[in-house]
A and B are shown apart, each in its own frame.
Chain A
Amino acid sequence: MDITQRAVLNATVLDVNGDLTYSNRAAFKTAVEQVKSRNCQHLIVNLEQVRFVDSSGLGLLVLMSQSFKLQKAQFSLLKPQSYVREIMSLANIPNMIPIYETEGDALTARAA
């Protein structure tokens, strides 16, 4: 798994490349917690290059989302591939984590 970080306006985007699974969970968790420790107000996790998410990956997304909510910050997901979107939909993830199709939409939603 390869994770890169970039700043966009008032948000931080994590571009994730690879599977978000049980075996990669530590790398993802570390990357998100680093961003969170810098008082990031809006983290956007870009899933465009993620081909597979398993139950551990879903759990981490929810855990990270909860921790951002606790510090009154926003956690968003961006452009999941169709399989990943289907998995998240089966687990009702869109009911609790906002999913956007473009960075612009994610940034606008936060600003609103």
Chain B
Amino acid sequence: MEEPSLEVSGSQGDRVAEGVPRAATILLVDDDPIFRLIMVARLEKLGYRVFQAEDGGQGLEMIRRLQPDLTILDWIMPKMDGPDICEWVRRDPLLKSSQIFLMSGHDRPEDIEEGLNRGADGFLSKDASPLEITARVQAGIRSSALVRQLAYARDAILAREQTLEAELQSAASFIESLLPSPGVPVPGIHLSWHYRPSLTLGGDLFGVTRWGRDYLGLFMLDASGHGVSAALRAASMVAFLHPDNLIRVSESYDPGAILSAANRRFPLSSEGEYFTLWVGALHLPTWRLRYASAGYAGVVLCRPHANSVWLEQADLALGFDPDGTFTTGEQEIRLGDRLYLSSDGVYEALSAEQVMWGKERLQRVIERHATRPVDYAIDQCFQASRAWQQAEHFRDDAALVGLERVDEQQDGITLL
């Protein structure tokens, strides 16, 4: 069918009402050519660009192609009537925010109700005075401008969200690149771990690395907050815990001295950001572990034939007390002993009844699987914590690190 639509350029602004965008476009869909002629002339005088369609099918095609600021639909038309077009438009994601007025020769309340329910934004009576029609069209154009502004704002927010998501993914990849390789960090120690960053990245990090000739350095840290900022602060703490820096700032590998130095270096920020940190130094010639904790409660030593011991102190998180000092504790690590470092994201999992999974339940799962490989026990802990919260994803980073002292002749492999 030949397209009879006409583009009618208005006066481009001189007579456009205040607050109405210039050259706003209106599509008029009506099968009555005389009425179209009258309306086009009237809308032209208001400064709008007017397009015309003579039936519903053509009107729908032009809405899709032109996306006018306002569409005025005659109610009764052959093939596809005005309310039908409204429903098509509302089902189309690209068009659903279009402003549409239905127009009819009568304005019975039940018709108005039906028209609005089927997707129209307003109603025009063909019997209305020119002044009323003018006022309603201008109001429709203003609404259209506002809806489009909202749509642009929404698109901008979505684009920003995608950028932030990409930054979070990048930060998560960077954080994971800092994690130690599982296996045998030093002869006699077998290392396993499982780490699941939260969807918003929680700032948890851990390290197992050689400190000088005689020590295996261990740390588990949590930078408060979420997102890229927390990840960056966590990375800065990892740099602080580099063995060369530790010797420079604390003159030893003593965990209490390291935390005291860290407490001075990382005060509470103006936004209340801080670190919790657990540091251990395993002296390899004697297998004695010295450790200190700054508000970090998730480290437990499990022994084959003795009670488990939580290696925590009553010391505060870094920055909570600017003059704080940190106590160093000590434990011997015997053959078969296992040291688990858990992030709070694992044991602070919350049930639907707002009950915390808790360290005691974590300890019980660990002990129940004391004769199975460490990575198996870690996996069981994650499963139990997830089951408790009835959710796959953790609301905070979840990390569980397991170290086992094994016979050096076994090359670090647990044979069970």
**Residues of A participating in the B interface, judged by any CB pair closer than 8 Å:** 22, 25, 29, 51-52, 54-56, 58-64, 66, 81-83, 86-87, 90-92, 95-96
Contacts and interface: CB of A to CB of B under 8 A. Distances in A.
A22 B314 contact: no
A92 B272 CA distance: 16
B226 A60 contact: no
Interface string B315-350: 111011100000000000000000000001000101
Residue with the greatest number of chain A CB neighbours at <10 A, chosen from B271, B273, B320, B356: B320
B199 to A, nearest CB: 13
Contact of A83 (B271, B316, B354, B395): B354
Nearest to B355: A83
A91 B317 contact: yes
B370 interface: no
Nearest to B316: A92
B55 interface: no
Contact of A63 (B272, B321, B344, B355): B272
A23 B14 CA distance: 48
Interface in B298-319: 314-317, 319
B143 interface: no
Contacts of B225: 22, 55-56, 59
B393 to A, nearest CB: 15
Nearest to B273: A59
B276 interface: yes
Interface of B: 222, 224-226, 268, 270-274, 276, 295, 297, 314-317, 319-321, 344, 348, 350, 354-356, 358, 395-396
Contacts, number: 75
Question: Chain A's interface: helix, strand, loop or mixed, by majority?
Answer: helix
Given A63-B272, A90-B297, A96-B321, 17 more contacts: A25-B271, A25-B272, A29-B271, A29-B272, A54-B395, A55-B222, A55-B225, A55-B344, A59-B268, A59-B271, A59-B273, A60-B272, A63-B270, A63-B271, A64-B272, A86-B356, A86-B358
Contact of B272 (A56, A82, A86): A56
Nearest to A97: B320
Contact of A62 (B222, B320, B348): B320
A62 B354 contact: no
Contact of A66 (B268, B295, B344): B268
A1 to B, nearest CB: 15
Nearest to A23: B226
Given A81-B354, A83-B354, A92-B316, A56 B226 contact: yes
Contact of A92 (B273, B295, B319): B295
Contacts of A56: 224-226, 272-273
A54 B319 CA distance: 17
A10 B414 CA distance: 64
Contacts of B344: 55, 90
A77 B319 CA distance: 20
Given A55-B225, A96-B316, A87 B348 contact: yes
10 contacts: A22-B226, A25-B272, A54-B396, A55-B344, A56-B226, A59-B272, A63-B268, A63-B270, A63-B272, A81-B354
Contacts of B297: 90-91
Contacts of B273: 56, 59
Nearest to A59: B272
Contacts of B271: 25, 29, 59-60, 63
Contacts of A87: 348, 356
Contacts of A83: 350, 354-356
A62 to B, nearest CB: 5
B348 to A, nearest CB: 7
B224 A59 contact: yes
Given A81-B354, A92-B295, A95-B316, A62 B226 contact: no
Given A22-B226, A58-B224, A92 B315 contact: yes
Q: Which 7 A/B pairs are nearest by Cβ-Cβ distance?
A: A59-B272, A63-B272, A55-B224, A60-B272, A90-B297, A59-B224, A56-B225
A51 B222 contact: no
A51 B297 CA distance: 21
Contacts of A86: 356, 358
